[in-house]
Amino acid sequence: MDLRLILAIISGKLIQKFLRFIGHGGTSLPGKIARKIEPELLEKITKKFKKGSVFVTGTNGKTTTSRMIKSIFERNGDIVINNISGANLVSGLTTAILDGCSISGKAKGDLLLLEVDEATMPVACKEVKPDAVVVTNIFRDQLDRYTEIDKTLRLIEKGLNKLSPDCKIILNADDPRVASLGRDRNNTVYFGVNDVSVTEGEREDLDVQICDNCGAEYIYIRYVYSHLGEYRCPRCGRSRPEPDVSLSKLIDRDLNGSHLIVKCFNEYYDVYVPLVGVYNIYNALAAITVARAFDIKPEVIKEGLAQNKSSFGRGEIIDVDGKKVMFFLVKNPAGYNQVINTISSLKGDKYILMALNDKYADGTDVSWIWDVDFEEIARMEDLKGIITTGIRAQELTLRLKYAGIVDEITTINDMGDAIREAIAKVPEGGVLFVLPTYTCMLELRGILEKSGYVKPFWEG
């Protein structure tokens, strides 16, 4: 009997229960306390899941991809333990483990599925030794933490170097930096978009333009969005690897989701993804790749994706008195631009609430908002109004004014007043698009929770 492990688990579970009783998520502190008592907690418990463990890392799409994977495995009859809140630092991972084990340390599920922060990858890979790792993409994000994407890449690579040779590494072929992580590695599988109609044309806001092998500028045959696309180096010949799992054809898409034809190795799947946006197509491709790596049948994969629900705050739609409030978490230029493009492509009047904080979880450096293509919003003919809120609302308002949006903006510093005013402006049957950074999302969603419109995120 491992008394130290049992004490750590009991302590963490009690703290988590108390925090949730008083209305907090309890996503990080229980893990911190448990690790103080037993630093090897992760290593001891994670090896007890009979189907092993899966990591999902990268800048954008971690939580949604994890949610899709979870939905597929649950459709397969498996019990999945994961950090549903998106708390992805080592303390958050440990808290998820506390949720998924008994007091004695016995795993309550079949599969451990963890969304992992890029900077946490070296520690997490060392302690857990996952059976599969997904890398979604790499964009500039939280400049105060990562400085630039080269550092992010090195952190992920350091984690991958700690994996066992049998670990399946699942990479985005359309992201040059991510694809480079698979060079000279065994068990690498790629996913990407092959449908040439899915493109936003040439972009000037690329995060990646230089070949990591020889330093020459990449030539893009086509862009999907930002620096994701089909590319090759004119000097050394390095190019996009052919995806093993790819979008063959985008049949249709609307506010509710996308109908896809996916080529999975030598098979074709007719798939419906009930989430809006091209970025969610990438998330679905990653989830399909993981499922096939665990030999889940195609029909189960399709059914699992079709019944998938949005992660809290990520394309989540909340019904409020006959109106729809749609949350899109935003945290960097590439992700923000995709959300703007998605909103722009939808029919109907556009009512928008933008919220910007500069707390640690948001990134204390908010200069990235000047790289967001807010000018696209200025070109929306059906824009009816924008409300800005949050700690840095004034700076967000200033950025929007430089984008040419003046008369449509109202700034309300108090978030409770802001969301109530924003909802009031939307006619019955209309949609309010909420674009918050992380801590703003928690606060705004919390306001709707207290009003009874949505359950707390830890209740699924």
The catalytic site residues sit at 365
59 and 146 Cβ atoms separated by less than 8 Å? no
**Residue set of the binding site for Zn(2+):** 211, 214, 233, 236
| The pLDDT of residue 207 | 62
* pLDDT above 80 (res 457): no
* pLDDT above 80 (res 389): yes
Buried b (16+ CB within 10 A) or exposed e, 107-116: bebbbbbbbb
Report the distance separating Cα 397 and Cα 412, nearest Å.
10
Q: How many other CB atoms are there within 10 angstroms of residue 148's CB atom? A: 10
Only one residue has tokens 């200069």, namely 367
Q: Please, what are the domains in the chain?
A: 43-307 (3.40.1190.10), 314-450 (3.90.190.20)
Mean pLDDT of the chain: 91
Q: Which tokens hold the place of 246?
A: 């790819």
| The pLDDT of residue 202 | 60
| The pLDDT of residue 209 | 75
Report the distance separating Cα 457 and Cα 110, nearest Å.
22
pLDDT in tens, 231-256: 999 999 999 999 999 999 999 987 78
Mean pLDDT calculated for residue range 19-45: 87
pLDDT in tens, 39-72: 999 989 998 999 999 999 999 999 899 999 999 9
104 and 45 Cβ atoms separated by less than 8 Å? no
62 and 82 Cβ atoms separated by less than 8 Å? no
| DSSP secondary structure code for residue 363 in this structure | -
Q: How many other CB atoms are there within 10 angstroms of residue 346's CB atom? A: 15
Mean pLDDT calculated for residue range 365-387: 93
Q: Is residue 87 exposed (0-12), middle (13-18) or buried (19+ Cβ within 10 Å)?
A: buried
Percent of the chain with pLDDT over 90: 74
Higher pLDDT, 166 or 253: 166
Q: Which tokens hold the place of 90?
A: 């080592």
**Residue set of the binding site:** 211, 214, 233, 236
Strand partners, 261: 249, 270
* pLDDT above 60 (res 2): yes
Report the distance separating Cα 222 and Cα 329, nearest Å.
27
| DSSP secondary structure code for residue 275 in this structure | S
Residue 369's pLDDT band, with cuts at 50, 70 and 90, is very high
Only one residue has tokens 């092959």, namely 194
Give the dihedral sign, CA 411/412/416/418: negative
* pLDDT above 90 (res 184): no
pLDDT in tens, 296-314: 999 999 999 999 977 777 8
3-state helix, strand, coil in the chain (%, to 5): 40, 25, 40
Q: Which tokens hold the place of 302?
A: 């399709």
Report the distance separating Cα 362 and Cα 223, nearest Å.
28
Report the distance separating Cα 386 and Cα 400, nearest Å.
10
